């Protein structure tokens, strides 16, 4: 199994990854900040340097890291800085977090392809994974929980 961590704006948009062959699970979390533990309130405060992310666990025998990266770029607007739709703030930035050099190279390759198609307007950042932590339970599968009530 392999992991992809990306900031696509609000992490409740984890639903965009559901139903894709090879994707085994998603988890809402925070990544990129100064501390190994944070809360939603702290992240929204803007001083932690964390962003909202979706951690995607996938089977690389079925779907590649590059294909997950392509999907990442399709499910959000990578040309808006610190914003996705109505969500505004640093914590909603477009960002990919890698854990290996191979992932970094793959992510950069796909970013370059997308950036060329979008006339060099992509603002997505690629950084080494730093201080990932799982978001609070009430954020996990948020839309599924709300629809069941």
Residue ranges covered by each domain of the chain: 2-148
pLDDT in tens, the chain (149 residues): 999 999 998 887 888 999 999 999 999 999 999 999 999 999 988 889 999 999 999 999 999 999 999 999 999 999 999 999 888 999 999 999 999 999 999 999 999 999 999 999 999 999 999 999 999 877 777 666 667 54
Cβ-in-10-Å burial (0-12, 13-18, 19+) of 13 comes to buried
Q: Strand pairing partners for 88?
A: 83
CB half-sphere exposure, 6, CA atoms < 13 A:
30
Contact 51, 28 (CB under 8 A): no
For residue 70, the surrounding DSSP H or E stretch is: helix 65-74
Tell me, which fold does domain 2-148 have in CATH? 3.30.1060
Beta strands in the chain (DSSP E): 2-8, 23-31, 51-58, 83-84, 87-88, 94-98, 125-128, 133-134
The answer to whether 44 touches 51, Cβ cutoff 8 Å, is no
CB of 92 within 8 A of CB of 51? yes
Q: Which residues are catalytic?
A: 10
């Amino acid at each position: 199994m392999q992991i992809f961590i990306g900031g696509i704006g609000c992490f409740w948009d984890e639903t965009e990854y559901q139903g894709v062959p090879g994707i085994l699970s998603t988890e809402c979390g925070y990544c990129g900040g100064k501390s190994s533990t944070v809360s939603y309130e702290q992240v929204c405060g803007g001083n932690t340097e964390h962003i909202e992310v979706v951690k995607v666990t996938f089977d690389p025998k079925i779907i590649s890291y590059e294909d997950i990266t392509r999907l990442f770029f399709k499910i959000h607007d990578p040309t808006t800085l610190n914003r996705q739709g109505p969500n505004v703030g640093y914590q909603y930035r477009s960002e990919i977090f890698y854990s290996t050099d191979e992932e970094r190279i793959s992510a950069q390759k796909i970013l370059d392809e997308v950036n060329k198609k979008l006339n060099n307007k992509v603002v997505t950042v690629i950084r080494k994974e730093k201080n990932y932590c799982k978001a609070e339970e009430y954020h996990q599968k948020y839309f599924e929980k709300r629809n069941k009530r």
